């Protein structure tokens, strides 16, 4: 049982025994003892002063005496003003270590048949451009959150909604018709998503040129934006698409096919995947039918121009368009259809949308619209908003071609990993194929860790060189520590040392004690990460564990320890720390190299 829960139960019993007052265990406030004080767990005494009618020091001492007498896990205490600092007995930490030794998935909750089903949507790309740095954060957060939720005992379905239709898709198609000359990924050797993305940029350049020309002819800028030939062609193409025009649909399928092939390659490189992929082209009609049902039932309003709106002013929001006057759908229409289809496909208990924080309003609206349409699960949808990723020189813009392409970024990270490793001489004696494999593992580890260690809600600045440093709070630093542990274990095996599968007893020094304390926290860390929907909780825990191990390793020998029982104990601790590092990183989708 978790030591915090044990303490809460016993403090509640102490209050009843000592002062004749009844409190719930949940009312007891327990936290980790601050580093400048002796102890492991600290109980806040102030809430009990009215019950004891004594000073904080006297109350703390009485509760402390009760715990030492009645709780074998507490060996000593001290009181600092209104804070009761408890020293946890070494045997408790040894017991937690043995639990971690015995369980290969220590801290993970097994998934049962009765477990709740959580669907997590992430990625959600548009088929008019390749994945970029912003998509990387989305994909890494979504995949990692899925792993965290599984580790908390949930059934998980990872899903993706591909935005494969609409004005933005038609822009690339119009530009390819105008300027493509039949170009394909096969004829130019480019990834299909890159090729289509180039035509999206080309459209924007052409569109701006046409606007400038019309403004020079006397149109206002707003008029020019509406009358530019390219945008008129795009709108006409969208209408033809929705009318199922064979020529337009054929071009659409061809160009989307190029993009999907490119996406699959990028997903594979990033190590993310999906259990189910939905396409807007399949779901928007369901959403449109639902909106029209809403009109018939008086839930939504149809204006004189035939556009359809939802009035959400009573809910503190504004009016939201659901169908344009030409009958075409908007994003929210598609999301209504997708939500309905998903709940038809799966018995979902919780639906989590991993989408940037600029879409907070969108999901507030979606939840309300689904509720108004009579879906009881509408209000239970959870939007997991995350901050944008910026570069040292500012934000990215897809249509202007200023994004950091995901494929280029990963390739660049591998180059940096190669250069840094060669400079440090870390891979001397490795074959070229072994080196390249490790460069890839280190590069992806650096990228994923740098992004996932940040609180998801925060906007972050990505710096490739900083992320791949082998010192400090980085993926490569953690990977290198794991490899160091494996090297120690290999040497032990080579010299015939058998690492114990259980520790009976040990006299712990301060470093060993601190290391066991942080090892014991892993189950609570997994639980906290799930409750907070934050892989950063896991990432920063693993870093703290690695720091604690390196501090221990710096001060105390393992293989050269003359006392064989201490040597074997430390090998067991090292092996367990390595296992938790590996399992923790697996929740982030990060590999760890056995040698480095």
Q: What is the pLDDT of residue 481?
A: 96
Neighbours of 269 (CB within 10 A): 16
- Residues 200 and 238: their CA atoms lie apart, in Å, by 15
The reply to whether 99 falls in a domain is: no
Average pLDDT over the chain reads 93
Residues 445 and 377 in one domain: no
Structure tokens at 463: 């710096």
Residue 440 has a pLDDT of 94
DSSP 66-105: HHHHH-TTEEEEEEETTEEEEEEPHHHHHHHHHHHHH-TT
- Rounded mean pLDDT of 13-32? 96
Q: Is 333 within 8 Å of 326 (Cβ atoms)?
A: no
Given a cut of 50, whether residue 398 has pLDDT beyond it is: no
Q: Is 46 left (phi over 0), alpha (psi -120 to 50) or beta?
A: alpha
Residue 395 lies in a domain: no
- Give the confidence band of 399 by pLDDT, cuts at 50, 70, 90: very low
* Region of poorest pLDDT, from 44-58, 245-259, 416-430: 416-430
Could you tell me if 383 and 424 lie in one domain?
A: no
Calculate mean pLDDT across residues 32-46.
94
In a domain, 95, yes or no: no
| Together in a domain, 379 and 237 | yes
pLDDT tens digits, residue range 162-213? 999 989 999 999 999 999 999 999 999 999 999 999 999 999 999 999 999 9
| Boundary of a domain, candidates 390, 422, 440 | 390
Q: Do residues 183 and 279 both lie within one domain?
A: yes
Question: In this structure, is residue 96 part of a structural domain?
Answer: no
Does residue 4 surpass a pLDDT of 60?
A: yes
Distance CA 62, CA 56 (A): 10
Round to whole Å and give the CA distance between 229 and 76: 81
Tokens read off for 265: 């390659």
DSSP string, 323-382: E-TTS-B-HHHHHHHHHHHHHHHS--SEEEEEEEGGGHHHHHHHHHHHHHTT-TTGGG-E
- Give the model confidence (pLDDT) of 250-261 as tens digits: 999 999 999 999
User: Which residues, 6+ apart, have CB-to-CB distance to 395 below 8 Å?
Assistant: 388
For residues 13-25, average pLDDT: 96
Domain boundary among 390, 423, 451: 390
Question: Which residues span the domain enclosing 559?
Answer: 410-586
Residue, of 465 and 243, whose pLDDT is higher:
243
Q: What is the DSSP string of 185-217?
A: HHHH---HHHHHHHHHHHHHHHHHHHHHHHHHT
pLDDT for the residue 397: 45
Q: Confidence class of residue 393 from pLDDT cuts 50, 70 and 90?
A: low
* 11 in Cβ contact with 43 (< 8 Å): yes
Q: Is the pLDDT of residue 94 over 60?
A: yes
Angstrom distance (rounded) from CA 96 to CA 115: 26
Which domain CATH number covers 249?
Answer: 3.40.50.620
221 plus 351 within the same structural domain: yes
Give tens-digit pLDDT for 564-584. 999 999 999 999 999 999 999
Nearest Cα residue to 540 out of 467, 443, 454, 460: 454
Q: Give the pLDDT score at 331.
A: 86
pLDDT band of residue 22 (cuts 50, 70, 90) is very high
**Claim to verify: residue 414 and residue 386 sit in the same structural domain:** no
One domain, residues 315 and 444 = no
Side-chain-facing half-sphere of 399: CA atoms under 13 Å: 11
Does 134 lie in the same domain as 38? no
CATH classification of the domain holding 512: 1.10.730.10
Could you give the CA distance from residue 579 to residue 103 in angstroms, rounded to a whole number?
10
Residues 357-388: tens digit of each pLDDT:
999 999 999 999 999 999 888 888 999 999 98
Contacts of 73 (CB under 8 A, 6+ apart): 3, 6, 7, 88, 89, 92
Q: Please report the sign of the dihedral spanned by the C-alpha atoms of residue 425, residue 430, residue 435, residue 439.
A: negative
Does residue 107 form part of some domain? no
Statement: residue 137 has pLDDT above 90: yes
In a domain, 109, yes or no: no
In a domain, 104, yes or no: no
Which of residues 88, 114, 143 is at a domain's end? 88
79: CATH = 3.30.1360.70
Measure the CA–CA gap between 570 and 508, rounded to whole angstroms: 10
Please, which pLDDT band fits residue 310 given cuts at 50, 70 and 90? very high
Q: How confident is the model at residue 401 (pLDDT cuts 50, 70, 90)?
A: very low
C-alpha span between 98 and 582 (Å, rounded): 18
Which pLDDT score, from 0 to 100, does residue 402 have?
53
State the Cα torsion 174-176-177-181 to the nearest 10°.
170
Confidence of residue 464 (pLDDT cuts 50, 70, 90): confident
- 446 in the same domain as 327: no
In a domain, 470, yes or no: yes
Question: 385: part of which helix (H) or strand (E)?
Answer: strand 382-386
Shared domain check, 426 and 305: no
Residue 142 CB coordination number (10 Å) = 27
Separation of alpha carbons 15 and 27, rounded Å: 11
Q: For residues 223-247, give the mean pLDDT.
A: 95
488 — pLDDT class (breaks 50, 70, 90)? very high
Per-residue pLDDT, 403: 66
Higher pLDDT, 55 or 504: 55
Average pLDDT over residues 103-114: 96
Domain shared by 386 and 468, yes or no: no
Residues 381 and 274 in one domain: yes
7: pLDDT strictly greater than 90? yes
In our burial notation (b when 16+ CB lie closer than 10 A, e otherwise), range 517-541 reads bbbbbbbbbbbbbbeebbbbbbbbb
pLDDT score of 506: 79
- Residue 473's closest CA among 386, 395, 550? 550
Q: Could you tell me which of 344, 305, 299 has the C-alpha nearest to residue 328?
A: 305
* Overall number of domains in the chain: 3
- Please state which of the ranges 126-140, 265-279, 326-340, 521-535 shows the lowest mean pLDDT: 326-340
pLDDT on residue 400: 46
Lowest mean pLDDT of 153-162, 279-288, 486-495, name the range. Answer: 279-288
């Amino acid at each position: 049982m978790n030591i915090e829960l044990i303490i809460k139960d016993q403090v509640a019993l102490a209050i009843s025994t000592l002062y004749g007052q009844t409190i719930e265990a949940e009312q007891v406030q327990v936290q980790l003892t601050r580093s400048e004080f002796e102890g492991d767990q600290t109980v806040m005494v102030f809430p009990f002063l009215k019950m004891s009618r004594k000073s904080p020091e006297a109350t703390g001492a009485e509760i402390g005496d009760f715990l030492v007498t009645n709780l074998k896990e507490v060996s000593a205490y001290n009181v600092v003003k209104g804070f009761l600092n408890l020293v946890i007995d070494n045997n408790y930490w040894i017991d937690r270590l043995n639990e971690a030794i015995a369980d290969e998935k220590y801290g993970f909750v097994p998934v049962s048949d009765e477990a709740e089903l959580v669907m997590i949507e992430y990625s959600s790309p548009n088929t008019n451009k390749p994945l970029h740095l912003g998509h990387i954060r989305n994909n890494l957060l979504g995949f990692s959150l899925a792993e965290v939720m599984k580790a908390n005992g949930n059934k998980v379905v990872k899903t993706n909604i591909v935005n494969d239709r609409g004005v933005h898709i038609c822009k690339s198609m119009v530009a390819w018709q105008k300027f493509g000359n039949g170009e394909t990924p096969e004829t130019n050797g480019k990834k299909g998503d890159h090729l289509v993305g180039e035509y999206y940029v080309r459209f924007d350049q052409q569109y701006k040129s046409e606007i400038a020309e019309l403004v020079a002819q006397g149109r206002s800028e707003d008029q020019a934006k509406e009358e530019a030939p390219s945008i008129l062609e795009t709108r006409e193409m969208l209408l033809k698409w929705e009318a199922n025009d064979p020529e337009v649909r054929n071009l659409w399928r061809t160009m989307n096919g190029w993009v999907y092939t490119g996406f699959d390659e990028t997903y594979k490189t990033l190590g993310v995947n999906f259990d189910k992929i939905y396409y807007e082209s399949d779901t928007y009609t369901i959403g449109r039918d639902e909106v029209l049902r809403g009109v018939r039932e008086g839930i939504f309003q149809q204006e004189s121009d035939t556009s359809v709106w939802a009035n959400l002013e009573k809910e503190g929001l504004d009016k939201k368009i659901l169908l344009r006057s030409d009958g075409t759908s908007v994003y929210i229409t598609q999301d209504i259809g997708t939500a309905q289809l998903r709940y038809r496909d799966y018995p979902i208990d919780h639906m989590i949308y991993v989408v940037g924080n600029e879409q907070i309003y969108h999901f507030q609206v979606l939840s309300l619209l689904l509720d108004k349409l009579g879906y009881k699960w509408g209000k239970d949808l959870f939007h997991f908003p995350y901050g944008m990723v910026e570069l040292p020189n500012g934000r990215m813009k897809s249509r202007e071609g200023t994004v950091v392409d995901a494929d280029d970024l990963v390739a660049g990270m591998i180059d940096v990993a190669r250069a840094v490793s060669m400079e440090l001489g870390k891979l001397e004696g490795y074959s070229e194929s072994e080196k390249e494999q490790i460069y890839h593992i280190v590069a992806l580890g650096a990228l994923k860790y740098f992004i996932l260690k940040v609180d998801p809600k925060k906007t972050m600045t990505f710096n490739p060189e900083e992320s791949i440093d082998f010192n400090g709070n980085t993926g490569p630093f953690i990977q290198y520590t794991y490899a160091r542990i494996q090297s120690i274990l290999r040497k032990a095996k080579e010299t015939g040392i058998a690492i114990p599968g259980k520790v009976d007893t040990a006299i712990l020094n301060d470093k060993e004690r601190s290391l066991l304390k942080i090892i014991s926290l892993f189950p609570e860390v997994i639980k906290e990460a799930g409750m907070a929907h934050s892989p950063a909780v896991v990432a920063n825990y693993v870093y703290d564990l690695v720091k604690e191990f390196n501090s221990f390793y710096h001060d105390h020998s393992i293989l050269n320890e003359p006392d064989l029982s201490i040597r074997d104990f430390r090998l067991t601790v090292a092996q367990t720390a390595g296992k938790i590092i590996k399992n923790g990183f697996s929740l982030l989708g990060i590999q760890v190299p056995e040698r480095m």
